[in-house]
Structure 1
Amino acid sequence: MTEIAHKHLAYCWIARGDEVLFLRRRPGVFLADRWELPGGTVEPGEAFEATAVREVAEETGLRVRVTGELARDSWPDVAGRAMRIHACVYTVDEDGLGAVVLNPEEHDDFAWLTPAQARDLPLPDHFRRLLDR
């Protein structure tokens, strides 16, 4: 029997008014040209909330603090590996309204969009499910 690995992800729902921050993955990376919320992989021993805050700072330069949990989701690995992905999306408040400064190794564009506008983007399924709830 194949043992299933588990990968944990934490994302942030950063809202300014009715708009939410979405990032586009750059060419050459996993899920290239797809749009996503800021976030990433939980490191061993790291709390999910700490991951969310760290990833936002690394990917956008913004400083945030977690205010709540918006959603949880799980799915099989899209690359076909024996792995189950678990993600949590957190609501956050920004520490000031800073400018978005992308990490060019991960993303090449960003947009502040309403959830309705974001539905038109090429999104991974787990973000589409979040918008459709």
Structure 2
Amino acid sequence: MAASGYRVDAVDLSAVALAKPREAGGTGVTYRQLDVERDGLDDLPHDAYDLITVRLGWAFVRDRTRVLGRLRERLRPGGALCVITPVAGAVPERERGVALDEEEIGLLCAGRESAGRYDADGLALLVLRGPAPAAPVCAGKGRPAAHALTGAGVVVTDAAGRVLPGWSVRGVWELPGGKNEPGEDFAAAAVRELEEETSLKAGPAGARVRAVLMDSVDGMPRVTAAVQVTAFTGEPVVTEPRLIRRWEWREPADLPGLTRPLFTPGAHVLDTVWPGLLPGLPPVHRYPVTRD
């Protein structure tokens, strides 16, 4: 290329690799020892290039996506990045560490205005131009195994500041609340569960998430949102008698004197709204949520 009149920068990590062509002489070539992955590209002899060629070295680059982006930034409009690489499927197994497989080649070619692939004496020669603008895309990794319980516990208070616990068929006092439905946020879950369990109606805008709590039950992580509701309509009634025997408005100051247990997540939710009200609670990780 230099003999054809182009200005050429020859860059390599190895001083030995640069020594022989430098000794051979020739004009129009600038030699520079540089690690393009770790040293950055500010030390390149020129700011912009019409062609950047990576020959037999891409498999040795660890942070390929980042380095690819930095190289692309050094191309002039219409410029091309050429990667010449062995292909894993065409070399002996012992040499596959210096080759790219088809998945890596696909990643290299993705998001380009054009990506040409040619065979060069058994090597893949990739000519990349671009990029092609695209919105970020999200994807899952298949259906996950069940790992944790998530839900909301609701502290609902009336105009007098009294709180509404329920006497459960399981022999504990508990707050309204329950698990999230798929796609449902904590505030929406709190409002839905409140209506389903007590018939009280509240709007999501009036449900304030005060904190996210994390503990465990029977070896499974449990995440509970502490939600406070102060604006609602209706009167509490038992809508699920298989779960709750009755709902009672109670003074918060009376809660430490209950003669029957509080359901642990509900106790942590109450302690979020009234810190220190219930001493001696089991351990919990608490992540307060501040208003915007």
Alignment TM-score, normalising by the size of structure 2: 0.39
2:168 aligned residue: 25
Residue 222 of structure 2 aligns with which residue?
Answer: 85
Pick one of 235, 241, 266 that aligns with 1:127: 266
**CA apart distance, 1:4:** 7.4
Q: Distance in 2 between matches of 1:44 and 1:107?
A: 24
Shift of residue 53, structure 1, vs aligned partner? 0.7
By relative contact order (CA 8 Å, sep 6+), the higher-ranking structure is 1
CA distance in 2: counterparts of 1:72 and 1:53, whole angstroms: 16
Aligned to 2:266, what secondary structure does the other structure show?
A: helix
Q: Which position in structure 2 is the counterpart of 1:5?
A: 147
Are the equivalent residues in 1 in contact too, given 2:153–2:265 (CA < 8 A)?
no
**Aligned with residue 69 of structure 1, among 186, 194, 209:** 209
Q: Which amino acid aligns with 2:167?
A: R
* Structure 1 position 117 matched with structure 2 position 254: yes
More helix by share: 2
Asked whether the equivalents of residues 11 and 40 of structure 1 are also in contact (C-alpha less than 8 Å), the reply is yes
Q: Which has the larger radius of gyration?
A: 2
CA distance in 2, matches of 1:4, 1:61: 31
User: For 1:70 and 1:24, how far apart are their aligned partners in 2?
Assistant: 24
Report the CA distance between 1:10 and its aligned residue: 0.7
Query: Is 1:119–1:128's contact at 8 Å kept on the other side of the alignment?
Result: no
Deviations 1:77-106 (A, max 9, x none): 1xx2x411100121113333x221112121
Give the superposition deviation at 1:38: 0.5
Query: Does the 8 Å CA contact 1:4/1:83 hold for their aligned counterparts?
Result: no
Instruction: State the superposition RMSD in angstroms.
Output: 2.0
The code of the aligned residue for 1:23 comes to G
Residue 29 of structure 1: aligned partner: none
Q: How big is the shift at 1:69?
A: 1.8
User: Identity rate of aligned residues, in percent?
Assistant: 30
- Take 1:94 and 1:88, find their aligned partners in 2: how far apart are those partners? 18
1:5-62 C-alpha deviation (Å, 9 max, x unpaired): 1111112211112210101111xxxxx1111111001122211111111101110011
Q: What is residue 45 of structure 1 aligned with on the other side?
A: 183
1:34 to 169, 172, 183: 172
- Provide the C-alpha distance between the structure 2 equivalents of 1:36 and 1:50, rounded to a whole number of angstroms: 19
- In the alignment of these two chains, the number of paired residues is 122
Q: Which structure 1 segments of 5+ residues have no match? A: 27-31
Deviation at 1:67, TM superposition (A): 3.5
Gaps of 5+ in 2: 1-144, 276-292
Match of 2:106 in 1: none
